[in-house]
Amino acid sequence: MKLRPVRPEVDFPALEARVLEHWDSTDAFQKSVEQRPEEDRFVFYDGPPFATGLPHYGHFVASVLKDIVPRYWAMKGKRVERRWGWDCHGLPVENETQKELGLASKADIDELGIERFNEACRGIVLRYTGEWRQSIRRLGRWVDHDRGYKTMDADFMESVWWVFSRLWEDGRIYEGYRVQPVSPALGTPLSNFEVAQGPQERDPVTKKDGHKRRQDPSLTVRFKLEDEDASLWAWTTTPWTLPSNLALAVNPTVEYVRFKVSETGEVAYAEPSRLADYQARGRVGETEELGRLPGAELVGRRYRPLLPYFEQYAEGEGDARRAFFVVSADYVETSSGTGIVHQAPAFGEDDFQTGKENGLPLVNPLSLTGHFGPDVPDFEGQFAKDADKGIIAHLRAAGSVVDQDTYVHPYPHCYRTGTPLLYMALSTWFMEVEPMRDELVSNNQKTHWVPEAVGTGRFGNWLASARDWNLSRNRFWGTPLPIWRCDEDPSDMVCVSSREQLEELCGLEKGAVTDLHRDRIDHLTFPSTKTAGGTMRRVPEVFDCWFESGSMPYAEHHYPFENRELVEQNLPADFIAEGLDQTRGWFYTLTVLSTALFGRPAFKNVIVNGIVLAEDGEKMSKSKRNFPDPSIVLEKLGADALRIYLASSPVVNAKSLRFAEDGVREQVRSVLLPLWNAYSFLTRYADVDGWEPDGTAPSTEVNELDAWVLSRLQTLLADVEDRMARYELFRVVPALLEFIDDLTNWYIRRSRRRFWRGASDAHAEDKGNAYRTLYHVLLTLSKVLAPFVPFITEEIHGNLSDGGRESVHLEDYPVADSSLQDAGLERRMGLARIAVSLGRGLRAKHDVRIRQPLPSMTVVMADAEDRASLERMAEIVRDELNVKELRVSSEEADFVSYSARPNLKVLGPRYGKNLGAIRQEIEGLSGEQLGAVVAGGSVQSTAVEGLEYDAGTLLVDRASREGTVVDTLDGVTVALDVTLDDGLRLEGLARELVNRIQGLRKEQELDLDDRIEVQVGCDGMLAEALRTHWALIADEVLATGAAPDASSSPIGGKDFDVDGMSASIEIARV
């Protein structure tokens, strides 16, 4: 099979478009999955994104990871199913729908009807799937969209019900209360996410961003103690919560003062520094201190209800009291107020907790729209904030107001209506997580995290202090909670676990329930079996959509209704990859549900990616336009470049990345083009030579360069395997880069001539082996790189593979062959490259260019083995540096001077404080003494007893001896003999002529194998060089015929200056 010759110029995006079509037309992805055995799976879970927005770089990062890793394992022989998933439910969708339908509040939705609302949600939820599909395809990600799952599918939802019913049976579900932010204008609780979206403002004092600021009343109220003619002063900015006051909180460890107000004679309690603050602001007059006591001594004291609405709760069982006493709370601070805090358990998180701890009742006279109900008849029908005025007036009249002022503070506002939010305790459904903490933590320890610190730190800590999970939402578009409750007895409940069960309960025929959304099932009722005459009705809540995505491992396969075995075998997943922001999201919900249901971790390996920022270090923002459109980057530079840019960036190690288009371009230059050019080199010369792959493996015996690059290739394979096994993608790409550099800038560079030489002569075997080696390396490399840059490798593989599979992605991943690894050879080549590098530096110092042959170079090394090694590399070094002879010497002292430093790693722990003296002594060691150490001897220390300076305790540095032109690096010292005789000079001039003629060839865009006729007009030494070295020149520039007559200048010749002599040269293709 002949290789198609390939030009070095390449249009990667166009190439990628062709490859995409090839994949589509050959069903490459399907084949790559199906050709692997079903028993040997690599399980991948795909975290579902919302389709309500377009994909951005963050999704691309995750997608690149989700493609590279599965492709790799597929090539390693695993069956890797990749099913796409869509997160369809939840608030983002509802918000979008509300916006489009112009529905401001929950009431509006109720009015419209859930059915129509949900229909609208269903209509927009898949709006951008087409764009997603196209972007993901363009990125080269292989994933099955057609068999993908959607969290709104009835099968998926039914599995979610099953998951929930298992938790219900296990007694992990309970109904409770939770203080939540409520938008009274919308009449609905908001998620924290929505709260954070509310209006923001910078605080003028602290300069920190926060909630929009608001002016509220600042009211200080007196609560009359029952056992003493004295009062407790408490402060609030929410007078509307005072009707619901049930306790006062003090900090038990803070000291309080009992004092008398001089003007009125009132006796009261407050925290002393707070009292002083009131006085400083002139709100309270003179006082007389009567005594001090710790807060703990106030705890338990009873006071009279400030307002009468809930005074029935004063009475507890027996002598006890249910409410209206002082409680202890650590959170009470003394930076504001009076140090005594009014408690309304329904209206604050802290209050709620304190209430729970002290057995306080939970009273909430407000509706979701923030209006007082009949419990507070004086203000019934009034909006809470509007009632402030009336309440204050009422209290003032009753003589309960100590002070009234205003207070400006940051306060959360509704993100949609801009009105201030109210916090209130609402009934919700919880899953018990706290008792599972230990198990969660131990399951997490079975998971391999990349980077490790996320698992042990961030995620581990979160699990260790996990709280019960509030998994219900008072919304419409979601999977409904499958709880049916009796309208007569609220404790009579049934948890439904399947469609079939619901049909049976409701007396419907089998298959009647096809959709589980609220609009399809809320009306379904059935009679209670426990409560006579009771009717079972579904509770109104839907699931937190995280519960649904966390159920994905089961629900995507409609477990346990179908695929029982498959799902149970698929647990835990081998691999998932998501962003750092999923710590409390998907990572968490997967772990909690898997632990609760199966007692297993949900995933074995996880790569956590960081956040992609714009080039300016800020968040990418559509309005700021601070980042380039992903699709334009893909069209300009290609997906391979973008993939490798992302995969080698810190973002795959959970760090943030400043996205720079130039960074992507850099990948084209440093990875793709060199690879392409190596490939182009092979195909073009193979074409010229008529070489074809013959199925013969390259030999390591013919030429050390071949053995070397094959050895390097095995090292690369081993490194990649190791790093992929650890999921450390960010460490793979640098290894690839290093190899590509070795291949192009050393192997091919050093081997070029092997490809040019005529095949008929003694070099035939060497030439054939060079082809075979380069071919083998490139073909192997196309497989190694395939998961990372799937397009360019497909193209290369398609041309090179002979009898191979129709896609590189169907190949088996190459495995390192340790018999081809030769550490000694790699070491030798390393030494040669150091020597060459030093030699090049010396040429520059001497100002002698490479084209000028030099008589000799001397390399000095102390180590005998190294010297022998380098001698074996003499030809390569001579050729690369254009020197006639390579001398290897051990006589370092002739060229370098020694200096020494203490080897602190050895001496530090042993001689700690003596280091000063040691350092001084070492500085004073003579060249002879150091020479002795270098030679393997030792020198007795006089400063420190028992210390010997030798190769272990000293680090000897070499420097060029003054007056010599040498250079030294890593123990290799190089000196160059630059004396020239006429012979060398002539040869140098001949090479100059070659250089000029090659320039003309290039200028005239001749093909690699075009033969030329050369005419040169010149005189003196140049003419002599032309005559003497014509054979060499002709061979180099593919000239035909005898040496030109230098005395006649060509008519159309181009004039050159060669070392101060002039030459006129003309070439013509023959």
Partner RNA sequence: GGGCCUGUAGCUCAGCUGGUUAGAGCGUUCGCCUGAUAAGCGAGAGGUCAGUGGUUCGAGUCCACUCAGGCCCA
Tell me the catalytic residues: 48, 87, 546, 582, 586, 619, 622
Near RNA by CB under 7 A: residue from 134, 442, 461, 569:
461
Say whether 418 sits in a helix, a strand or coil: coil
CB 1055 within 8 A of CB 1063: yes
Near RNA by CB under 7 A: residue from 281, 389, 564, 669:
669
Q: Which is nearer to RNA, 238 or 570 (CB)?
A: 238
Near RNA by CB under 7 A: residue from 226, 228, 349, 891:
349
Q: Which is nearer to RNA, 97 or 680 (CB)?
A: 680
Q: Which is nearer to RNA, 510 or 913 (CB)?
A: 913
56 binds RNA, rule: CB under 7 A: no
Encoding tokens for residue 888?
Answer: 């290897």
Q: How far apart are CA 353 and CA 360, in angstroms?
A: 10
Q: How far apart are CA 896 and CA 721, in angstroms?
A: 43
Q: Which helix (H) or strand (E) holds 716?
A: helix 704-725
Q: Which helix (H) or strand (E) holds 276?
A: helix 272-280
353 binds RNA, rule: CB under 7 A: no
Q: Between 673 and 712, how does the x/- string for binding to RNA read (CB under 7 A)?
A: xx--xx-xx--x----------------------------
**Nearest 10 degrees: Cα torsion 49, 50, 51, 54:** -80
Near RNA by CB under 7 A: residue from 463, 486, 732, 748:
748
Q: Which is nearer to RNA, 666 or 806 (CB)?
A: 666
3-state secondary structure 1012-1058: EEEEEECCHHHHHHHHHCHHHHHHHHCECCCCCCCCCCCCCCEEEEE
Pairing state between β 573-579 and 612-613: unpaired
**How many other C-beta atoms are found inside a 10 Å radius of the C-beta of residue 690?**
8
Within residues 834-863, the interface with RNA by CB under 7 A covers 837, 840-841, 844-845, 849-851
337 binds RNA, rule: CB under 7 A: no
CB 286 within 8 A of CB 258: no
Question: Nearest distance from residue 901's CB to RNA, in Å?
Answer: 4
Q: Which is nearer to RNA, 662 or 962 (CB)?
A: 662
Question: Nearest distance from residue 330's CB to RNA, in Å?
Answer: 12
**How many other C-beta atoms are found inside a 10 Å radius of the C-beta of residue 385?**
17
Near RNA by CB under 7 A: residue from 267, 296, 580, 718:
580
Near RNA by CB under 7 A: residue from 376, 786, 1038, 1058:
1038
**How many other C-beta atoms are found inside a 10 Å radius of the C-beta of residue 70?**
26
Spatial neighbors of 872 by CB under 8 A, at least 6 apart, are 704, 828
901 binds RNA, rule: CB under 7 A: yes
- CB neighbour burial string for 432-449, b if at least 16 within 10 angstroms, e if fewer: ebeebeeebbebbeebeb
* Among the residue ranges 339-347, 764-772, 795-803, 902-910, the one whose residues contact RNA (CB under 7 A): 902-910
Near RNA by CB under 7 A: residue from 566, 904, 951, 1021:
904
Question: Nearest distance from residue 1051's CB to RNA, in Å?
Answer: 25
757 binds RNA, rule: CB under 7 A: no
Question: Nearest distance from residue 108's CB to RNA, in Å?
Answer: 27
- 137, with CB counted inside 10 A (0-12, 13-18, 19+), is middle
Which of 930, 1025, 1044, 1026 lies closest to 986 in space, CA to CA?
1025
* Among the residue ranges 245-253, 590-598, 974-982, 992-1000, the one whose residues contact RNA (CB under 7 A): 992-1000
1035 binds RNA, rule: CB under 7 A: yes
162 binds RNA, rule: CB under 7 A: no
336 binds RNA, rule: CB under 7 A: no
CB 390 within 8 A of CB 240: no
* Among the residue ranges 120-128, 215-223, 285-293, 654-662, the one whose residues contact RNA (CB under 7 A): 654-662
Question: Nearest distance from residue 402's CB to RNA, in Å?
Answer: 28
950 binds RNA, rule: CB under 7 A: no
Q: Which is nearer to RNA, 281 or 752 (CB)?
A: 752
297 binds RNA, rule: CB under 7 A: no
749 binds RNA, rule: CB under 7 A: yes
Q: Which is nearer to RNA, 912 or 924 (CB)?
A: 912
Q: How far apart are CA 915 and CA 408, in angstroms?
A: 63
Spatial neighbors of 1009 by CB under 8 A, at least 6 apart, are 688, 1038
Which of 1031, 1041, 1025 lies closest to 993 in space, CA to CA?
1025
Q: Which is nearer to RNA, 304 or 584 (CB)?
A: 584
830 binds RNA, rule: CB under 7 A: no
CB 857 within 8 A of CB 898: no
Question: Nearest distance from residue 741's CB to RNA, in Å?
Answer: 7
* Among the residue ranges 392-400, 478-486, 660-668, 935-943, the one whose residues contact RNA (CB under 7 A): 660-668
* Among the residue ranges 265-273, 658-666, 719-727, 1020-1028, the one whose residues contact RNA (CB under 7 A): 658-666
Near RNA by CB under 7 A: residue from 116, 752, 827, 1069:
752
Within residues 614-633, the interface with RNA by CB under 7 A covers 617-619
Q: How far apart are CA 122 and CA 516, in angstroms?
A: 13
Near RNA by CB under 7 A: residue from 91, 249, 1037, 1058:
1037
Tell me the Ramachandran region of residue 742: left when phi exceeds 0, alpha when psi lies from -120 to 50, beta otherwise: alpha
Question: Nearest distance from residue 152's CB to RNA, in Å?
Answer: 23
Within residues 165-194, the interface with RNA by CB under 7 A covers 192-193
Q: Which is nearer to RNA, 192 or 279 (CB)?
A: 192
913 binds RNA, rule: CB under 7 A: yes
* Among the residue ranges 13-21, 153-161, 247-255, 989-997, the one whose residues contact RNA (CB under 7 A): 989-997
**Bridge partners for 542 per DSSP:** 473, 480
**Bridge partners for 430 per DSSP:** 174, 470
